[in-house]
Amino acid sequence: MKKLTLVLLTLSIIAVIAACAPAPAAPQVVKETVIVPQTVVVQPTAAPAATKPPAAPGGRLALVKSRGKLICGVNGSQPGFSFLEKATGEFTGFDADYCRAIAAAIFGDVKAVEYRPINTPQRGPALQTGEIDVLIRNTTWTSSRDTAWGLFAPTTFYDGQGMMVPKKLGAKTLKDLKGATICVQTGTTTELNLADQMRAVGADFKPVVFQDQDPTYAAYEEGRCDAVTSDKSQLASRRTLLKKPNDHEIMDVTMSKEPLGPVVPLGDDAWFNVVKWVVFATFQADEWGVTSKNVDNAVNSPDPNIKRMFTDVDLAKGLGLEKDWAIKAIKAVGNYSEIYDRSLGPSTPLNLPRGPNKMWTQGGLLYAPPYR
């Protein structure tokens, strides 16, 4: 009996540590919420070997077209990014709109999407097995994930890791969290950065590690942790779900770079191009002031660059799409600013400042290469 307990304990420790790797190689089934107060710092493992899904005949674009819908892996519990609205059964949010933009470019129909909620440890396996066509959920572009999970399309949201604390704690810097208990989700870049950053300021802490998002924030709200750490966008999003959002603040610290964007399975360049150039279309339209309302005029634009992007048959053919693919995408979801404002802008509960998520022409990092 003792032996069995030891084996089970060892297995569960291995499972937790494996889930902490930045890019797990093998599919893991994670059903239970594991709460493991740890004092050990988990080191990232070496980057695992790349795993490609079996090639679909004619490529994934042909597969998506013949299936008649896009399978889009999303978070599903993050208001503003992707959230299942119980009242309507619809997924709303910035990430969900990018699923719609891709479907609109291919099918001219934003409804041609099956949203598949994918939790943190399932992300790599879902891409590696080809279960999803694209992953669009708060996933940070890292070197090991780019080679082992899938290819990252352009970053749609430049984020950074932050820390949320109850206002009454009065913590302003990471040093103020010396000895604190910090809730964090496993299998994330967050967990790894937390250890690095706290070590850098010489503050010891007790991580409380969770497999899923809801229990992480439930534990924080119940006061079982002094602080919770995640991407700042996620903290802002989940703060809206707390009973008293105004009792909590996101500290003015940025612990890492977290470029978030869509990811496609490895091994299909043509499919990668479709996702990549749909994302760029939302940037480029924004730069030119082309919106969901005026995109029809782009067809006759006196600016040859605008006209080319929205009408050129050869450019469309190169992507395997119909000539009006960009019109359909922009008409359906709008340009980047429209997508941003709908879910994250000043009239939403999140009201996230654009920060680096502005066009390059306005001092931001969003930049599309030429459509030519």
Ligand X SMILES: N[C@@H](CCC(=O)N[C@@H](CS)C(=O)NCC(=O)O)C(=O)O
Chain positions contacting ligand X, by CB under 6 A: 75, 77, 119-120, 138-140, 185, 188-190, 212-213, 230-231, 234, 258
Shortest Å distance, C-beta 185 to ligand X: 4
Shortest Å distance, C-beta 99 to ligand X: 16
Cβ distance to ligand X smaller for residue 234 or 343? 234
What separation in angstroms does the CA of 70 have from each of 96, 183, 293, 308? 12, 34, 25, 27
Cβ distance to ligand X smaller for residue 238 or 328? 238
Cβ distance to ligand X smaller for residue 73 or 345? 73
Shortest Å distance, C-beta 78 to ligand X: 6
Shortest Å distance, C-beta 213 to ligand X: 3
According to DSSP, the β-strands at 82-85 and 90-92 are antiparallel
Long-range Cβ contacts of 297-306 (<8 Å, 24+ apart): 298/327, 299/327, 305/370, 305/371, 305/372
Shortest Å distance, C-beta 57 to ligand X: 32
Of 169, 183, 278, the closest CA to residue 235 belongs to 183
DSSP reduced 3-state for 67: helix
Cβ distance to ligand X smaller for residue 76 or 267? 76
Distance CA 273, CA 296 (A): 24
Cβ distance to ligand X smaller for residue 231 or 338? 231
Residue 83's DSSP bridge partners are 77, 92
What separation in angstroms does the CA of 129 have from each of 52, 125, 146? 7, 6, 15
